[in-house]
Amino acid sequence: MSIKLHCEHCGASVTAPREMAGRVSKCPACGNPVYVPTPEEEIEELPLAPEDVSDLQKEAMLQAERRRLDSLLLRENDGRDSGETSEPAGRTAVPPGAGSQPGAGQTGGVGSIGSRLEKALHTYLVAVRDSNLDAAERALNILRMQPRTARELVDRLATDQIPPPEMAKVPATVYQGFLKSLRSRLQP
């Protein structure tokens, strides 16, 4: 049985043998290449392997662990920004609230500034992603209030293997470009 089709170039009716299905042949009228389609009844559906739920669960657990560790690191770095010095190896730091500084370890201090800067950083990245330059400039002004801390946050995001969820669909090179541009705008 043969396959009937029309040439895309000259419109001539072409009859091709079934063995030519899925290949390119020449039109007998104009000589241009013509694709001979495979009949629908001969197309086999490829079986897809089912999704492995355990892999998805493992990935979700790893992301949750990463977020937990990131938040712990953020809290540690927020403590250093308040003027507490890091102790040499082998010595333990003074627990928050037990130091001689008034207000050390209390809520509403530097921790809220760090979280405010982190929110401003995420707002900046989303605004730049969406080309909302006014919102990006407002977020940048907030980040410029604490440029050293803001640069540390940008550096942390730049070295992170996984971008924040709101930046997941942005190509890695573009995301790194956003961070590099922001860091240069935060220079004193």
Give the dihedral of Cα atoms 185, 158, 120, 79; nearest 10 deg: -110
Question: What mean pLDDT is predicted for residues 17-21?
Answer: 85
Q: How far apart are CA 78 and CA 172, in angstroms?
A: 27
Mean pLDDT value of segment 67-92: 62
Judged against a pLDDT cut of 50, whether residue 110 lies above it is answered with: no
* 124-162 pLDDT per residue, tens: 999 999 999 999 999 999 988 888 888 888 888 888 878
Q: What SS3 class is residue 102?
A: coil
Secondary element (H or E) of residue 111: helix 110-129
Could you tell me the residue ranges of all domains in the chain?
2-40, 110-188
d(CA 111, CA 72) in angstroms, rounded, equals: 12
State percent of the chain over pLDDT 70.
Answer: 79
Give 104's pLDDT tier (boundaries 50, 70, 90): very low
What burial class does residue 121 get, using C-beta atoms within 10 Å of its C-beta: 0-12 exposed, 13-18 middle, 19+ buried?
A: buried
Question: Is 89 a residue whose pLDDT tops 70?
Answer: no
Residue 96: its pLDDT value, please? 39
Q: What is the pTM of this model?
A: 0.41
Residue 119 near residue 127 (C-beta atoms within 8 A): no
The answer for residues whose C-beta is within 8 angstroms of residue 172's C-beta and 6 or more apart is 163
Q: Residue 112, class by beta-carbon neighbours within 10 Å (0-12 exposed, 13-18 middle, 19+ buried)?
A: exposed
